[in-house]
Amino acid sequence: MSHHREDIQRTLVLCKPDAVARGLVGQIVARFEARGLQLAGLKLLAMEPARAERLYEPHVGKSFYPPLLQYMTSGPIVAMVWQGAHAIEVVRTMMGATNPTQAAPGTIRGDFAQRVDRNVVHGSDSPESAAREIPIFFEDSELPVYQAHHAAWL
């Protein structure tokens, strides 16, 4: 019962400044671990404006872009890479709707967030986004390849 290699994906997840300030990082990490995703990279950092601009480049010119940059640079974030079968879709489903008022209970945003401008987590929305976003935060050397012992069961 093994997955085809093409099913295994990597995705970027950010615990946004509100998640770090509110002490939610451990609970967020625990949810992804419990789901069976494999942690591939993790770091705490201050998001400087240049990095935020690279991440949110697709949103330049939109009304929410300036406040988004302000928010994302307002405190430390935790950047993570998770991998697993269909990881991008799995993470997006677990995060819940972008607007927390529409996020189902049981999702990260549905359980931890109330405001769209303080919505706790970011996750890559497609394989193309993941490929663009991961290198903004991680060098290849910071993403060690290892075999998770539980992989055969997932």
Q: pLDDT digit of tens for each residue in the chain (154 aa)?
A: 455 666 899 999 999 999 999 999 999 999 999 999 999 999 999 999 999 999 999 999 999 999 999 999 999 999 999 999 999 999 999 999 999 999 999 999 999 999 999 999 999 999 999 999 999 999 999 999 998 888 888 7
Tokens in use for 86?
């269909």
Sorted by where each begins, the domain ranges of the chain are 5-139
Q: Which of 3, 4, 122, 150 is catalytic?
A: 122
Q: Which amino acid is located at 62 in the chain?
A: K
59: annotated active-site residue: no
Instruction: Round to the nearest angstrom and report the end-to-end CA distance of the chain.
Output: 8
Tokens in use for 21?
């300030």
Domain 5-139 = CATH 3.30.70.141: yes
Give the whole-angstrom CA distance, residue 17 versus residue 12: 16
State the DSSP code for 5: G
In our burial notation (b when 16+ CB lie closer than 10 A, e otherwise), range 43-54 reads eeeebeeebbee
